Amino acid sequence: MSSKKVDDFLSGLIHPLKEEMQTIRKIIMEVDTAITEEVKWGGPSFNYKGDIATFSPRVKDQAVLVFHQGEMLSARTVLEPAPKGKAYAKFSSMAEIEAKSEDLRAVIKEWIQFMDEK
């Protein structure tokens, strides 16, 4: 369910890839109606029975999602390994979002399945 807090955060955000971030947000939120969002750790954050990922708006040349427990997700073209068990999904353009959207959806679905099996 989308959040007014995230709407307000994004409307006030000055970022060269703000439109891309909004598209990524829409993709994630459409995967499952039980996904929630809030502003946490300095950016929009997505949750399903635990923290899935958070945007890092400090990075200006890409729209970056930090997957907090990315190491437990299958290696997919959309994820890059990061320190402390995290993974990054980085997008530089709408074309890249379109090209990686199915992988992004698959990663979110995998997280949901993992949390449902816990």
Which residues of the chain register pLDDT less than 70?
1, 75
Q: Which of 91, 99, 95, 32 is nearest to 64 (CA)?
A: 91
Q: 7 with 37: CB under 8 angstroms?
A: no
Identity of the residue numbered 66: V
How many alpha carbons lie under 13 Å from residue 64 in its C-beta half-sphere?
16
The reported pLDDT for the residue numbered 75 is: 64
Residue 90's pLDDT is 97
Spatial contact of 56 and 63, defined as CB atoms under 8 Å apart: no
Q: Percent of the chain at pLDDT above 70?
A: 98
pLDDT, residue 38, reads 96
What residues are paired with 40 via a beta bridge?
43
| pLDDT per residue as tens digits for the range 97-115 | 999 999 999 999 999 999 9
3-class SS at 47? strand
d(CA 1, CA 29): 7
| pLDDT tens digits, 74-85 | 867 899 999 999
38 Cβ contact partners less than 8 Å away, ≥ 6 residues apart: 3, 5, 6, 44, 45, 47
H or E stretch covering 52: strand 51-55
pTM of this structure: 0.94
